[in-house]
Amino acid sequence: MRNPLRTITGLFTNLHIRGKLLISYFILIFLPLALMTSFSYKNVSRDYEKQILHSADLSFDQAYTFLSYKVNTLIKASDVIYFNADVQTMLTRDKQAFGDDYVQQNIDRQKLESFLNSFQNAEDVYRASLYVPGWLMYAGQNFNFFDMDAFSQTGSYRALLASKDKVSWLPEHAITNNNSNLDPVPVISLLRKIRNSEQTTEIIGIIELNILKELIEDILRKANIANDGAVYLQNANGAIVSCSNMDNFRRINPDPALIQDAQTDGPAWRNAAIGGSDYVIKTRAVENTDWTMVTAIPMTDILTQSIRIRDLMLVLMLVCGLISYGLAYLIAGATVKRILLLKKKMRLVQEGVLNVEAQSASRDEIGELTDSFNHMVKRIRLLVEEQYQNGKEIKNLELKALQAQINPHFLYNTLEMINWKAIDNGVPDIAVISQSLAKFYKLSLNKGRDIVSIEDEINHIRAYVQIQNLRFDNKIKLDVQIDPALYGRDILKLILQPLVENAIIHGILEARDGKEGTIAITGYPEMGEIVLTVADDGVGMPSEQAERLLANGNAGEEVQGYGVRNVDHRIKLCYGQEYGLAYRSSPGNGTSVEIRIPDRFR
Model pLDDT for residues 246-267, shown as the tens digit of each residue: 888 888 888 777 665 544 445 5
CATH 3.30.450.20 is right for the domain spanning 216-305: yes
- Residue of 310 and 485 predicted with greater confidence: 485
Q: What confidence score (pLDDT) does residue 417 get?
A: 58
Q: What confidence score (pLDDT) does residue 566 get?
A: 84
Q: How far apart are CA 494 and CA 135, in angstroms?
A: 102
Average pLDDT on 333-343 reads 69
Say if residues 156 and 170 touch (Cβ distance below 8 Å): yes
Q: How far apart are CA 58 and CA 62, in angstroms?
A: 6
Q: How far apart are CA 158 and CA 388, in angstroms?
A: 98
Average pLDDT on 217-224 reads 88
Q: For 552-566, how does the pLDDT look when each residue is reduced to its tens digit (9 = 90+)?
A: 544 444 455 667 888
Q: What confidence score (pLDDT) does residue 72 get?
A: 92
State phi, psi for 550 to the nearest 5 degrees: -90, -5
Q: What confidence score (pLDDT) does residue 523 get?
A: 92
- Compute how many other C-beta atoms are within 10 angstroms of the C-beta atom of residue 337: 12
Q: What confidence score (pLDDT) does residue 534 get?
A: 93
pLDDT higher than threshold 80 for residue 236:
yes
Going by pLDDT thresholds of 50, 70 and 90, the confidence category of residue 539 is: confident
Going by pLDDT thresholds of 50, 70 and 90, the confidence category of residue 408 is: low
Q: For 46-85, how does the pLDDT look when each residue is reduced to its tens digit (9 = 90+)?
A: 777 778 888 888 888 898 999 999 999 999 988 998 898 8
Q: What confidence score (pLDDT) does residue 12 get?
A: 67
pLDDT higher than threshold 80 for residue 459:
yes
pLDDT higher than threshold 60 for residue 300:
yes
- Residue of 500 and 394 predicted with greater confidence: 500
DSSP state of 351: T
Min mean pLDDT across 103-117, 283-297, 309-323 is at 309-323
Q: What confidence score (pLDDT) does residue 602 get?
A: 44
Q: What confidence score (pLDDT) does residue 19 get?
A: 67
Q: How far apart are CA 245 and CA 583, in angstroms?
A: 65
Domain limits of the chain? Answer: 68-207, 216-305, 334-400, 449-598
Distances (CA, A) of 259 to 172, 264, 268, 283: 20, 11, 13, 6
Min mean pLDDT across 32-36, 100-104, 418-422, 471-475 is at 418-422
pLDDT higher than threshold 70 for residue 319:
yes
Alpha helices (H) along 357-446: 365-404, 408-424, 428-445
CATH 3.30.565.10 is right for the domain spanning 449-598: yes
pLDDT higher than threshold 50 for residue 142:
yes
Alpha-carbon radius of gyration of the chain? 49
Quote the pTM value: 0.48
User: In the chain, pLDDT over 90 holds for what percent of residues?
Assistant: 7
Angle at 568 between CA 579 and CA 453, to 5 degrees: 75
Mean pLDDT: which of 4-18, 278-292, 307-321, 421-435 is highest? 278-292
Mean pLDDT for the chain overall: 78
Coil vs helix vs strand at 120 = coil
- Residue of 582 and 429 predicted with greater confidence: 582
Min mean pLDDT across 189-198, 402-411, 548-557 is at 402-411
Alpha helices (H) along 83-131: 85-91, 95-98, 102-117
Q: What confidence score (pLDDT) does residue 537 get?
A: 87
Average pLDDT on 470-499 reads 86
Coil vs helix vs strand at 227 = coil
Average pLDDT on 524-535 reads 91
Going by pLDDT thresholds of 50, 70 and 90, the confidence category of residue 432 is: low
Do 449-598 and 216-305 have the same topology in CATH? Answer: no
Going by pLDDT thresholds of 50, 70 and 90, the confidence category of residue 425 is: low
Q: What confidence score (pLDDT) does residue 436 get?
A: 63
C-alpha closest to that of 484 among 457, 454, 459, 462: 454
User: In the chain, pLDDT over 70 holds for what percent of residues?
Assistant: 78
Q: How far apart are CA 158 and CA 135, in angstroms?
A: 21
